[in-house]
Amino acid sequence: MVGDNFYAKTNYNYWADTNNIVVLHPQANASTVPFSPEGCCDWFGYTGPDYALKSGSQLTAAHAMIGRLRANP
């Protein structure tokens, strides 16, 4: 499981903080069906043929998350 390893150890948060940028770190659950044993974002098509398109399920979800971050409280 990736857990917090990516965002805790890559220094993206430090870089973003020093440049006044917000970073969104969405995560996927580990699963065998669809095949994502480490819980990684889909970079090879396990969520379907549109995985790399704006219409893909994970990119659609990320877009909605960004919309929530941009919305007024």
* Full-model pTM: 0.71
> Quick count: other Cβ atoms within 10 Å of Cβ 18?
8
- State pLDDT tens for residues 44-56: 898 899 999 999 9
Give the C-alpha distances (Å, rounded to integers) separating 62 from 4, 18, 28, 50, 68. Answer: 18, 23, 11, 14, 10
Please check the confidence at residue 1 and state whether its pLDDT lies above 70.
no
Give the C-alpha distances (Å, rounded to integers) separating 21 from 3, 15, 18, 24, 38. Answer: 22, 8, 8, 10, 27
